[in-house]
């Protein structure tokens, strides 16, 4: 038999595989006792338990503190990723401190108590003032001591970072007993535990007291599971601190009915005239007006317009149904069938219990607790009248993006979807306190582009009604005071022009400066060397890829809390799958990994969301869309896991990955200028630089601590 000549590529691949086996064995030889096979299995189990619990507690507290601070510190709602990156900076500092054998765990109870006390005792008050960008309402924010908002933001940053630094230091120590990829695997499993627990508790409406108990239980269990010196004292301090936090939370209660929905803190109050009002994160959000009184105001204008057009009102769709006033008015004007869409189940439940007209008990009403844009995409019903009833959530969906719950309702594509659900001659009506003339003109221009004629604009004091469709022909619209109509790619209806506010720039400078200082002070010599540059660009690219993916998932599946939680869980599972493949498979061809990554990024860029939204089958739409966005995430994690397994200087890799993720959090604000789709150019460029660097750099040995692992969060 003729012997074929050796394939140079196969020979090179085999040589790399043999080198990797050797370096893995070296890592096992230098690993701690918990990692050596057959050596002290009880210690090994305890070490695994400790790592999973600590990772779960870290992610759980990230999610809990993001929800809690957004509800109590109103202006944080307009900094899309402040708490997320603050937590990341803190965990990074903690990992570096662990590498220097610094014990920060002893301060954890104090940081937990101080953080909650700062938010609850300082009593942040907000006077909402407009600004020229119209992006967020940031004005005279002061605490009891009269401190300016910027200073309070810095103090909150330092308090949060200190808390997570203490958690990160212990987590970094737990990592040290494992080879990099195995520690990374347990970390991801712990993260899945944390997000699973928080998602279930969000579903049942748990609040901060439950969050403190659960988070403390996870961290405390992780602290004592591996039985290190001083562990039990820290765990006991955590218990005492959590009890003090619970007392603070109980003392801060107002006596008014309060619930924590999956999105926000809801409080029910009653004004002097006996009208029930629902406050969302401290803002008066829903008013339970009787239909007879509300009908003479802007609530009744859609139906007066419909009557003038001769519509029968056989089918009416109300998006933003809230506590029921808009639906009660529709019934009072003779609607035969009303589909009421509201995203927050907590508001709907209070409407069922307390609205004086009990509209949700009427057999003519069908309630849909879901995202309004998703409902428009999925329904086959045709309507005489579609009403967008005060859909202004004042809430962002995710910590990774600037998308608000109603962002995808005001794009040109959303208006086109609404038009496609109207009967011939049907009307599309919006009303809200739009605050600025340019915003009214912007929404009206979007309706004009969709319906081919200028809509009617009717003012009711501070509230404006915009009606389009049918035979309506409004006055000419002034397009000179705004620059761009909102689209699914750039869904920022509340921005007068594409811009990045100086406060955002200052915030990112604070993050980046703190991170660089921490790396220089805490990391060993050589941390800022060239070999860790790939981890910097991978950290930057992965955060941006997450941001783009979550924006896509929100559009395709709806901006609901469940979609957000499932998206993060899916990303974590993708990370886990890639990690296990690298850890247990012989398939480690880096060129193929990069080829799959770049192909996935190209498809994600070239295929617009409308391709998937246009699919008739909902299952096919979801399957194809998920495959499109998870493919580049999966290949990106293959690339990371391969490099992570080979890293020689763990502190260097971690420091640069930290800086890269913080830089990625800053670059996320470029979406305000370009839209989300063009973020993929930056992602592709980062991974191209990584590819060139790893191709030209020598293969280092495997390190002991997986310090550069990217973290995924809500």
- CATH number of the domain that residue 416 is part of: 3.40.50.150
**Residue 51 shares a structural domain with residue 109:** yes
**Residue 133 shares a structural domain with residue 220:** yes
Query: Residue 714: inside a domain, yes or no?
Result: no
Query: Residue 12: inside a domain, yes or no?
Result: no
Query: What pLDDT was estimated at residue 713?
Result: 36
Query: Residue 70: inside a domain, yes or no?
Result: yes
**Residue 461 shares a structural domain with residue 575:** no
Query: What pLDDT was estimated at residue 608?
Result: 83
- C-beta of residue 277 within 8 angstroms of C-beta of residue 287: yes
**Residue 626 shares a structural domain with residue 530:** yes
**Residue 93 shares a structural domain with residue 113:** yes
**Residue 424 shares a structural domain with residue 504:** no
From residue 432, alpha-carbon distances to 119, 269, 387, 454, 559 in Å are: 31, 22, 11, 18, 20
* Per-residue tokens: 623: 């399957």
Pairing verdict, β 422-432 and 383-389: parallel
**Residue 439 shares a structural domain with residue 517:** no
Mean per-residue pLDDT of the chain: 80
Q: Of 98, 95, 110, 213, whose CA–CA distance to 159 is shortest?
A: 110
Query: What pLDDT was estimated at residue 346?
Result: 92
**Residue 322 shares a structural domain with residue 371:** yes
Query: Residue 21: inside a domain, yes or no?
Result: no
* pLDDT per position as a tens digit, 389-447: 988 765 444 444 567 778 889 999 999 999 999 999 999 999 998 878 999 999 999 99
**Residue 554 shares a structural domain with residue 523:** yes
**Residue 651 shares a structural domain with residue 502:** yes
Pairing verdict, β 456-460 and 265-270: unpaired
Burial class (CB in 10 A: 0-12, 13-18, 19+), 422: buried
Range of the domain at 250: 34-254+498-696
Query: Residue 474: inside a domain, yes or no?
Result: no
Distance between CA atoms of residues 176 and 190, nearest Å: 16
Residue 272: its H or E element: none
Q: How many domains does the chain have?
A: 2
Whether pLDDT at 1 is above 50: no
**Residue 523 shares a structural domain with residue 601:** yes
What is the distance in angstroms between the CA of the first residue and the CA of the last residue of the chain? 61
Higher pLDDT, 169 or 346: 346
Higher pLDDT, 5 or 71: 71
**CATH number of the domain within which 238 lies:** 1.20.1250.20
* pLDDT per position as a tens digit, 367-385: 999 989 989 988 999 999 9
Query: Residue 277: inside a domain, yes or no?
Result: yes
- C-beta of residue 661 within 8 angstroms of C-beta of residue 540: yes
Query: Residue 703: inside a domain, yes or no?
Result: no
How many angstroms from the chain centroid is the CA of residue 459? 35
Average pLDDT score over residue span 181-210: 90
pLDDT band at 603 (very low <50, low <70, confident <90, very high): very high
Query: Residue 663: inside a domain, yes or no?
Result: yes
Query: What pLDDT was estimated at residue 701?
Result: 38
Query: What pLDDT was estimated at residue 144?
Result: 42
**Residue 354 shares a structural domain with residue 384:** yes
From residue 296, alpha-carbon distances to 306, 334, 455, 557 in Å are: 15, 15, 21, 37
């Amino acid at each position: 038999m003729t012997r074929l000549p050796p394939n140079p590529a196969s020979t090179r691949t085999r040589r790399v595989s043999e080198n990797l086996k050797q370096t893995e064995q070296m890592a096992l030889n230098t690993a701690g006792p918990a990692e050596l096979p057959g050596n002290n299995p009880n210690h090994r189990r305890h070490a695994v338990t400790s790592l999973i619990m600590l990772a779960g507690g870290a992610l759980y507290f990230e999610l809990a503190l993001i929800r809690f601070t957004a509800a109590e510190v109103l202006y944080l709602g307009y900094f899309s990723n402040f708490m997320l990156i603050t937590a990341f900076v803190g965990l990074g500092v903690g990992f570096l401190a662990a590498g220097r054998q610094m014990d920060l765990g002893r301060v954890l109870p104090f940081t937990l108590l101080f953080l909650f006390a700062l938010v609850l005792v300082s009593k942040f008050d907000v006077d909402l003032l407009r600004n020229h960008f119209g992006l967020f309402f940031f004005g005279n924010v002061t605490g009891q001591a009269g401190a300016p908002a910027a200073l309070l933001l810095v103090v909150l940053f330092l308090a949060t970072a200190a808390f997570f630094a203490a958690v990160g230091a212990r987590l970094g120590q737990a990592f040290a007993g494992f080879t990099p990829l195995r520690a990374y695997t347990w970390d991801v499993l712990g993260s899945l535990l944390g997000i699973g627990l928080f998602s279930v508790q969000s579903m049942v409406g748990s609040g901060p007291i439950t969050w403190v108990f659960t988070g403390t239980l996870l961290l405390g269990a992780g602290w004592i599971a591996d039985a290190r010196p001083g562990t039990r004292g820290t765990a006991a301090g955590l218990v005492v601190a959590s009890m003090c936090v619970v007392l603070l939370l109980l003392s801060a209660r107002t006596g008014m009915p309060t619930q924590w929905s999956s999105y926000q803190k809801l409080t029910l109050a009653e004004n002097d005239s006996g009208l029930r009002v629902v406050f969302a994160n401290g803002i008066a959000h829903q008013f339970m007006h009787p239909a007879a009184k509300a009908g003479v105001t802007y609530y009744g204008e859609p139906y007066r317009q419909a009557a003038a057009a001769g519509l029968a009102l056989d089918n009416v769709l109300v998006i933003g149904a809230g506590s029921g006033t808009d639906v009660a008015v529709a019934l009072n004007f003779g609607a035969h069938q009303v589909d009421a869409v509201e995203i927050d189940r907590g508001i709907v439940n209070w409407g069922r219990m307390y609205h004086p007209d009990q509209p949700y008990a009427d057999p003519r009403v069908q309630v849909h607790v879901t995202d309004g844009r998703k409902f428009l995409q999925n329904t086959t019903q045709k309507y005489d009248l579609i009403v967008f009833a005060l859909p202004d959530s004042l809430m962002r969906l995710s910590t990774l993006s600037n998308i608000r719950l109603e962002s995808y309702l005001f794009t040109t594509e959303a208006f086109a979807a609404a038009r496609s659900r109207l009967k011939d001659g049907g009307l599309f009506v919006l009303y809200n306190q739009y605050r600025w003339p340019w915003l009214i003109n912007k929404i009206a221009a979007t309706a004009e582009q969709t319906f081919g004629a200028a809509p009617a604009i009717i003012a009711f004091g501070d509230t404006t009604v915009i009606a389009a469709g049918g035979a309506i022909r409004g006055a000419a619209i002034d397009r000179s005071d705004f620059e761009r109509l909102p689209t699914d790619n750039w869904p920022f209806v509340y921005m007068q022009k594409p811009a990045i506010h100086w406060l955002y720039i200052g915030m990112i400078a604070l993050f980046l400066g703190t991170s660089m200082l921490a790396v220089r002070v805490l990391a060993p010599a050589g941390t800022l060397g060239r070999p860790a540059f790939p981890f910097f660009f991978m950290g930057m690219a992965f955060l941006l890829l997450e941001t783009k993916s979550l924006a896509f998932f929100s559009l395709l599946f709806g901006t609901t809390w469940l979609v957000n939680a499932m998206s993060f869980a899916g990303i974590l599972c993708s990370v886990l799958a890639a990690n296990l493949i690298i850890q247990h498979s012989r398939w480690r061809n880096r060129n193929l990994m990069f080829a799959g990554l770049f192909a996935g990024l190209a498809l994600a860029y070239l295929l617009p969301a409308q391709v998937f939204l246009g699919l008739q089958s909902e299952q096919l739409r979801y399957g194809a869309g998920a495959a499109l966005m998870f493919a580049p995430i999966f290949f990106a994690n293959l690339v990371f896991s391969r490099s992570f397994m080979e890293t020689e200087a763990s502190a260097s890799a971690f420091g640069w990955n930290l800086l890269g993720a913080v830089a990625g959090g800053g670059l996320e604000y470029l979406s305000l200028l370009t839209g989300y789709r063009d973020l993929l150019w930056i992602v592709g460029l980062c991974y191209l630089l990584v590819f060139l660097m790893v191709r030209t750099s020598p293969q280092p040995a495997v390190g002991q601590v997986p310090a550069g692992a990217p973290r995924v969060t809500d």
